[in-house]
Amino acid sequence: MLLQALQKKLEGDVAVAKANISVYKNHSVGIGEHPDIVQAIEAEVAVAAEAQDKLNMVNTILQDELELLLD
């Protein structure tokens, strides 16, 4: 249950980062605290990449556990 909760959290982290990137790309005029939009997007890409990497590992662990149960 804990790994599944972590899975959902990481999926949310990826979704939030993607949403932020979309805002930076499509509505950058209203974002005054980020004068360097490319740098802000890069930071969100890093957040998404790290969360996706962790999510991939959680999915691998869950798959391994499932295979053990089925053996």
43: Cα within 13 Å, side-chain hemisphere = 8
Query: For position 34, what pLDDT does the model report?
Result: 59
Write the DSSP string, 1-41. Answer: -HHHHHHHHHHHHHHHHHHHHHHHHH-GGG-TT-S-HHHHH
pLDDT of the chain, 71 residues: tens digit per residue: 999 999 999 999 999 999 999 998 888 665 666 578 889 899 999 999 999 999 999 999 999 999 999 98
Residues 11 and 55: beta-carbon distance below 8 Å: yes
Q: What's the pTM value of the predicted model, to 2 decimals?
A: 0.84
Q: Which residue has the tokens 């949310």?
A: 12
Q: Where are the domains of the chain?
A: 2-70
